[in-house]
Amino acid sequence: MRRRLALIAALSCACAHAGEITVDGRIDPAEWAGAMHITDFRQTQPMTGNPGSQPTEAWVLSTPRGLAVAVRVTQPAGVPRSTQQTRRDEDARVDRVNVMVDFNGDGRVGYDFEVKSQGGIADEVITNESDFSYDWDGNWDHAVTQDADGYSVEVLIPWYIAPMRSPQGDTRRIGLYIDRVIAGTGERVAWPAIGFDRGRFLSSFQRVDLPAYAQSLFAVTPYLVARTDRAHGGTSFQEGADILWKPNGQTQLTATINPDFGQVESDDLVVNFSPTETFFTDKRPFFTENQGIFDFSLLDDDSQLVYTRRVGGLADDGRGAADISAAVKLNGSVGGTSYGILTAQEKGDAGRSFGALRLLHDFGTQTLGLLATRVDHPYLDRDANVLGIDHRWQPNAAFTLTSNVVGSQIDQPGADSKGLGATSIAYWEMSDTWSQQWLGMYFGRRLDIDDFGYLPRNDMTYLHWEVRQRLTDLPADSAYASHLWHYRISQANDSEGLRVSRRFRFQRDSQRRDGGSEKLRLDLFTSAYDDLLTRGGNALRNPRTGRLYWNREQPRAGRWAWEAEGYVMGNELTGFHRLGYDLKFVPTFFVTDRFSVFAGASYEWNPNWLIWQHDNLVGSFDGRTFGIDSGVNWNIGNRQELRVKLQTLAVGARMRQAYRVGPTGRALPVDDPVDALGVANLGFQIRYRYEIAPLSNLYIVYNRGGYQEDTDDVIGDQFRRGFSLKDVNEGLVKIAYRLAF
């Protein structure tokens, strides 16, 4: 304890360095003289807390140009070193260093700056303790050099890169975490010795006091898109601009005029006949910049009060995606209170107006926040207002309690409603081996946050209790380095007490000594009712059933890497009779370190697949789904990439029997006509990107794809038909160049 206190004291009193840091990947002792020097890196993967197998040291320095961090990694010839080139934000299992910073030191929003040994980078926003999002891109300096004994990384993070509160006098308190990963073994060593698979990660960063500096930035990123539409004919041009003004660390203004949300990125293909909406992340620059403060999760899967994909989504008149005139976002802080304001306006008579206000105050061991949203739908004569209050209490290093209360009010002729919801989750880290989690939710039947937010379902009460056990002292000859076991029991009812789910979950998350990972999960369900299938009609009674899931990621060994997953499960009509399954295998072959080809395939068999038709009528189908996920990645350099991506999904669902769900929940066979079902779905993209300068890019893209649904249930026909789809058939060139002042 005395040594740890001495280290913290040394870090906290470190002073600014008079010289300039040259970010060239060569750690010059003269440049880094007087910096914090960190050598106590401990194993966190597996989570043993022991010193790392290879020495690692870091230097941290506060400079007028930004937060400077250097990391020296020892990796001699006897330890395999990855040589694979990566594109920006690629989640590749290669040798790498992570520098994670919580600029406010309050555990609410963090930023990860990752540098690979070959010079590739990734940057992420961290929210809700350990939710990482690659969607954000920042402008920061980095460099790497390699030698026979290892490699060296230097990073310089400007003070304007993220909103941060005013410093206390001449010092600023931040949260800091640094780690390195050896890809060949999966070993991770970190300072401080914490893991992101625990209930508390971001809020456990080491608190460090540094000399405070401020920077300002004014940047304009104009863009131009030229598009040729071969599916519908015509050529179009679109121009606009993103504007970013950061007069200091406490105030940041972002605006976008006539934003381009064109198809330089592509979502994965999904065929969804369930009553639950598919969730997609947002990669649009305006909505990822300084967005962390608007994170307000209802702790249920991807639920959020601000789901930015709503802006520019399907227009209220149903005529495709809405165009956006402009959007503005203001982030800042006053004292211990952080705030965020977001507004966006869509074009046309069916255009909506979006607004959000976020306030968050830090009381030390507690934080209290408010988020209010409003969406005006002139076309529908509808106003949607949502108000949420969230609270987090961390009385000590072992216990965290997070809670929120949400209310909604919808004003629409003939459809006025008010709803209420609340969630609470408690996490107790009892020891390095054992931890517990309690979660409770209530979502009222009239709770409606989906005008601006995302909630998989309302009308539910949910409780679960989970115990976790971490094992790291596995035999040296074991293929596994560690296991994290989860044992969970849960129940869910609708707001009237109808049993929706009773489940026991048994899950093992494993790290392997070859650097790979493995997940095994068994879910056992008692009989219950599906109250969503008929979209407000009678609830279907389900028999006892279960689901066994497995996933394995094998990192690159020689020229090959692969990922496999699969499951076996019962169905909600006959339970364990007539099991379904899904298999997916994605191998990747590395022609060179820069050029790789992947060719994945999946096949799903879904017997007694229930698809809603109308009212209480459902069809039972024998469903087959075949998919291809393949492509080429050519990382020409750290500033150029060429990607070819082909995805296709073919569905053939043979009609077995029509049913009407009765008032008691029984599925009653009927002779109502229900057609067979077939789906063809295609997504194909060729994309070239050249980084002209930081956050300035040239894109040349070709997109082709489509979706077709008919009554042909022969999966081979649908697979062949998919390659002829041309609902989208376009070429585009986009150039965006950031001008910083």
Model pLDDT for residues 382-427, shown as the tens digit of each residue: 999 999 999 999 999 899 999 999 999 999 999 999 999 999 999 9
Do 609 and 653 meet the contact criterion of CB atoms below 8 Å apart?
Answer: yes
Confidence of residue 652 (pLDDT cuts 50, 70, 90): very high
104-141 tens-digit pLDDT: 999 999 999 999 999 999 999 999 899 999 889 999 99
Q: Which residue, among 285, 327, 287, has the nearest Cα to 307 in the 3D structure?
A: 287
Do 181 and 555 meet the contact criterion of CB atoms below 8 Å apart?
Answer: no
Q: How far apart are alpha carbons 160 and 187 in whole angstroms? A: 33
Confidence of residue 352 (pLDDT cuts 50, 70, 90): very high
Q: What is the largest CA-CA distance in the chain?
A: 85
> Torsion angle of alpha carbons 105, 106, 110, 115, nearest 10°?
30
| Residue 543 pLDDT > 60 | yes
483-495 tens-digit pLDDT: 999 999 999 999 8
Least confident segment among 317-321, 544-548, 630-634 = 317-321
| Residue 12 pLDDT > 70 | no
Q: Which residue, among 452, 342, 436, 427, has the nearest Cα to 107 in the 3D structure?
A: 427
Give the dihedral sign, CA 58/61/66/67. positive
How many Cα atoms occupy the beta-carbon half-sphere of 664 within 13 Å? 3
Confidence of residue 45 (pLDDT cuts 50, 70, 90): very high
How many residues make up the chain in this entry?
741
The pLDDT value given to residue 587: 97
Q: Which residue has the higher pLDDT, 162 or 373?
A: 373
The pLDDT value given to residue 509: 97
Percent of the chain with pLDDT over 70: 97
Confidence of residue 349 (pLDDT cuts 50, 70, 90): very high
Amino acid at 388: G
Q: What are phi and psi of 247, to 5 degrees?
A: -65, -25
The kind and range of the H/E element at 577 are strand 575-590
283-340 tens-digit pLDDT: 888 888 888 899 999 977 789 999 999 999 999 999 888 989 999 999 998 888 999 9
The pLDDT value given to residue 259: 79
User: Ranked by mean pLDDT, which of 77-86, 258-267, 373-382, 635-644 comes out on top?
Assistant: 373-382
The pLDDT value given to residue 2: 40
- Average the pLDDT over 441-454 and give the result: 97
The domains located in the chain, with CATH, are 2-215 (2.60.40.1190), 532-688+703-726 (no CATH)
| Residue 481 pLDDT > 50 | yes
* Residue 185, both tokens: 């073994």
Kindly report the three-state secondary structure assignment for every residue of 50-76.
Answer: CECCCCEEEEEEEECCEEEEEEEEECC
| Residue 10 pLDDT > 60 | no
* Residue 218, both tokens: 């004014």
Contacts of residue 396, defined as CB under 8 A and 6 or more positions apart, other chains included, come to: none
Confidence of residue 262 (pLDDT cuts 50, 70, 90): low
Q: What are phi and psi of 443, to 5 degrees?
A: -125, 115
Q: Which residue, among 538, 528, 593, has the nearest Cα to 183 in the 3D structure?
A: 593
Q: How far apart are alpha carbons 599 and 376 in whole angstroms? A: 45
Confidence of residue 637 (pLDDT cuts 50, 70, 90): confident
Least confident segment among 24-38, 289-303, 668-682 = 289-303
Q: How far apart are alpha carbons 449 and 420 in whole angstroms? A: 10
DSSP summary character for residue 348? S
The pLDDT value given to residue 266: 77
The pLDDT value given to residue 289: 85
Do 21 and 140 meet the contact criterion of CB atoms below 8 Å apart?
Answer: no
Question: Average pLDDT of the chain?
Answer: 93
- How far are the Cα atoms of 274, 654, 717 from residue 679, in angstroms, in the given order? 15, 12, 10
Contacts of residue 359, defined as CB under 8 A and 6 or more positions apart, other chains included, come to: 337, 338, 339, 369, 370, 371
| Residue 13 pLDDT > 70 | no
> Torsion angle of alpha carbons 35, 39, 42, 43, nearest 10°?
100
Q: How far apart are alpha carbons 425 and 714 in whole angstroms? A: 47
| Residue 263 pLDDT > 60 | no
Percent of the chain with pLDDT over 90: 83
* Residue 59, both tokens: 């230097």
Q: How far apart are alpha carbons 655 and 623 in whole angstroms? A: 9
* Residue 554, both tokens: 């094998």
DSSP string for residues in 397-451: SSEEEEEEEEEEEEE-TT--EEEEEEEEEEEEE-SSSEEEEEEEEEE-TT---TT
The pLDDT value given to residue 278: 92
Least confident segment among 272-281, 353-362, 444-453 = 272-281
Confidence of residue 719 (pLDDT cuts 50, 70, 90): very high
The pLDDT value given to residue 61: 97
